C-alpha cells in the first residue's frame, strides 16, 4: 500500500497547526506531508497592525517556516498555488511540478472584501501581510516627510481608516501610540494630524460589549481620533474618500480594514462558496470531497446557537488546524474522526501598547490588564508553534 500523500496549502494559523499536529502525531513514513506557502515565513496576522503603524518592526510579526517544521517529517515548498484541481486530486504551482494528493488541506487565507466601493482596490492600502504592512508604514512616513516640502498640505497628515472592526480599531490604537514619535521626527505639531475612523455601522466594533466599546471610543476620542459612524464610504480616490451623501475627506493615506473574503483560488476550484468561503461539514470537509479539508478564512462554520457563521479569526483557525491534524491521523489509521466544535476562549482587541479591551470567559477586561491578556494570547500562539524555545526567541518584545 502506498504512503498517503497529504498536501497542506498555506502556512497561516490553520495550515501550520495542521502541520505541527501531524509532525507530532505521525511516525516517520506514515504519510508524505508537504506544506506549500508563498513566503518562507509565517506572519502573525493578529500583530500586523503594529508594523503597519510602525510601532514594531515587521520581523516581530513573522516566523521562519524552517524554524517551525520538522524537515524529516514535513517537506516545505515555497511557491504560489495557481490552481486546485479537485477531480485530478492535484495542486498546480507557479514554479514547480503539480503536486498530487490523497488528502488536501486548504488554508489559503483571505482577500480584502470591498463591498463594491469604487476605487478601493486601486487607491486604498490593506492590512494583509508583511509586504503590505511594511508599505503602509512607509507610505505614512513618506507623506509626513513631504509635509514641509509641499506647502504643509493637510491631506498629507490625514489618515483615514475605513472600518471600525477589530483590525481597524487595533490599527487606530497603534497609530495613536506612533504619532508622538512620528510628529517629532518630521517637526509636525501633533494636533495638526487627523486620524479619522469611518464605519458604515452605527457603532464601533459592532456586536461587541457596549461598555467596552464605550471605553475604547472614549480612549480614542481623548487622543484626538475622529469617528464617523453610520457613514458608508462611497468611493476611494487618489485624493481621499467620498462619503455617502457626497462629502469628501482629503487624505493621502486611506487604509481599508472593512472586511475579508475567502481566497479566490477556492472559488475557482469549483467548490460552492459564499463570499469565497466554503460551508464545510462537521469534520471541516468540503461538500462532496471527503479528502479535502477547508480551514481558516476560506471556511464557513456555523454557530449552532444562533445559526450564524463564526467570524474568521486566528482563534478559530488555530482550533480548526488542531482538529484537522487529529482527523487526518484518524483517517490514515482508520480511526474515528472528531467533529469540530469551536471553543470561544475570549476576545481581546488591543488599543495600543498599553490599552486594550476584551472578554475572557465571562470577565470584561480593559486598560492595562486587557493589554497584558492580549500579549498572553500572542505568547500562547508562539508556544503552540514551537514550545518554550519559540516563545523565548520571538516573544521577548511581548513580555
Residues lying near a second copy in the complex (CB under 8 A): 58, 131-132, 134-135, 137-139, 141-142, 144-146, 148-149, 185-186
What whole-number distance in Å separates Cα of residue 341 and Cα of residue 320? 9
* Angle at alpha carbon of residue 140, lines to 137 and 141, rounded to 5°: 85
Q: What residues contact 124, with CB distance under 8 A and at least 6 apart? A: 162, 236, 254, 255, 256
Residue of 90, 113, 170, 211 with catalytic role: 170
At 159, phi and psi to the nearest 5?
-115, 120
Contact 30, 39 (CB under 8 A): no
**Cell output for 341:** 466544535
Specify whether the backbone of 246 is left (phi greater than 0), alpha (psi in -120 to 50) or beta.
left
> Shortest distance, CB of residue 57 to a second copy, whole angstroms?
8
- C-beta of 118 vs 139, nearer to a second copy: 139
In the complex, minimum distance from the CB of residue 11 to a second copy, in angstroms, rounded to a whole number: 16
Q: Nearest distance from residue 179's CB to a second copy, in Å?
A: 16
Q: Is 141 assigned a catalytic role?
A: no
Name every residue whose Cβ is closer than 8 Å to that of residue 30 and which is 6 or more positions away in sequence.
3, 332
Q: Least distance from C-beta 136 to a second copy, angstroms?
A: 9
3-state secondary structure 360-386: ECCEEEECHHHHHHHHHHHHHHHHHHH
Tell me the closest approach of the beta carbon of residue 187 to a second copy, in angstroms: 8
Measured distance CA(197)–CA(162) in Å, rounded: 6
Which of left, alpha, beta for 155 (phi over 0: left; psi -120 to 50: alpha)? Answer: alpha
Q: Which is nearer to a second copy, 185 or 354 (CB)?
A: 185
Shorter beta-carbon distance to a second copy: residue 253 or 327: 253
Cβ contact 381:318 at 8 Å: yes
**For a second copy, the closer CB: 263 or 347:** 263
Cα(287)–Cα(215) distance, rounded to whole angstroms?
A: 43
Which of 186, 198, 179, 184 shows the shortest CA–CA distance to 54? 179
Give dist(CA 265, CA 179) in Å, integer.
38
CB of 27 to a second copy, least distance (A): 36
Of residues 126 and 366, the one with the C-beta less far from a second copy: 126
Return the number of the residue (67 or 214) whose C-beta is nearest a second copy.
67
Which residue carries 490604537 as its cell?
173
Which residue numbers are catalytic? 170
Amino acid at each position: 500500500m502506498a504512503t498517503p500523500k497529504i498536501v497542506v496549502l498555506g502556512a497561516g494559523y490553520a495550515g501550520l497547526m495542521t502541520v505541527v499536529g501531524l509532525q507530532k502525531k505521525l511516525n516517520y513514513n506514515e504519510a508524505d506531508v508537504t506544506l506549500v506557502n508563498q513566503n518562507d515565513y509565517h506572519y502573525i496576522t493578529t500583530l500586523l497592525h503594529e508594523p503597519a503603524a510602525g510601532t514594531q518592526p515587521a520581523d516581530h510579526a513573522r516566523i521562519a517556516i524552517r524554524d517551525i517544521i520538522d524537515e524529516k517529517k514535513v517537506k516545505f515548498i515555497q511557491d504560489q498555488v495557481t490552481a486546485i484541481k479537485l477531480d485530478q486530486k492535484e495542486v498546480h504551482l507557479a514554479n514547480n511540478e503539480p503536486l498530487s494528493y490523497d488528502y488536501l488541506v486548504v488554508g489559503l487565507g483571505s482577500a480584502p472584501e470591498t463591498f463594491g466601493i469604487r476605487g478601493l482596490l486601486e487607491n486604498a492600502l490593506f492590512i494583509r501581510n508583511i509586504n503590505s504592512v511594511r508599505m503602509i508604514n512607509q507610505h505614512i512616513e513618506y507623506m509626513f516627510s513631504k509635509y514641509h516640502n509641499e506647502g504643509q498640505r493637510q491631506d498629507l497628515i490625514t489618515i483615514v481608516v475605513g472600518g471600525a472592526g477589530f483590525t481597524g480599531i487595533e490599527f487606530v490604537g497603534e497609530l495613536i501610540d506612533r504619532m508622538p514619535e512620528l510628529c517629532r521626527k518630521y517637526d509636525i505639531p501633533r494636533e495638526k494630524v487627523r486620524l479619522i475612523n469611518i464605519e458604515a455601522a452605527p457603532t464601533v466594533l459592532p456586536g461587541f460589549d457596549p461598555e467596552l466599546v464605550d471605553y475604547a471610543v472614549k480612549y480614542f476620542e481623548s487622543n484626538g481620533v475622529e469617528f464617523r459612524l453610520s457613514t458608508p464610504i462611497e468611493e476611494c480616490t487618489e485624493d481621499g474618500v467620498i462619503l455617502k451623501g457626497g462629502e469628501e475627506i482629503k487624505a493621502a493615506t486611506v487604509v481599508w480594514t472593512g472586511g475579508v473574503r475567502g481566497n479566490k483560488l477556492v472559488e475557482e476550484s469549483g467548490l460552492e462558496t459564499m463570499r469565497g468561503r466554503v460551508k464545510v461539514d462537521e469534520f471541516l470537509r468540503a461538500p462532496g470531497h471527503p479528502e479535502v479539508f477547508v480551514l481558516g478564512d476560506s471556511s464557513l462554520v456555523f454557530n449552532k446557537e444562533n445559526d450564524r457563521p463564526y467570524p474568521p479569526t486566528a482563534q478559530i483557525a488555530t482550533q480548526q488546524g488542531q482538529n484537522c491534524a487529529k482527523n487526518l491521523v484518524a483517517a490514515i489509521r482508520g480511526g474515528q474522526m472528531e467533529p469540530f466544535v469551536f471553543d470561544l476562549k475570549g476576545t481581546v482587541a488591543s488599543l495600543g501598547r498599553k490599552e486594550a479591551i476584551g472578554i475572557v470567559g465571562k470577565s470584561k477586561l480593559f486598560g492595562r490588564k486587557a493589554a497584558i491578556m492580549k500579549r498572553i494570547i500572542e505568547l500562547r500562539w508562539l508556544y503552540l508553534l514551537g514550545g518554550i524555545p519559540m516563545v523565548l526567541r520571538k516573544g521577548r518584545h511581548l513580555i
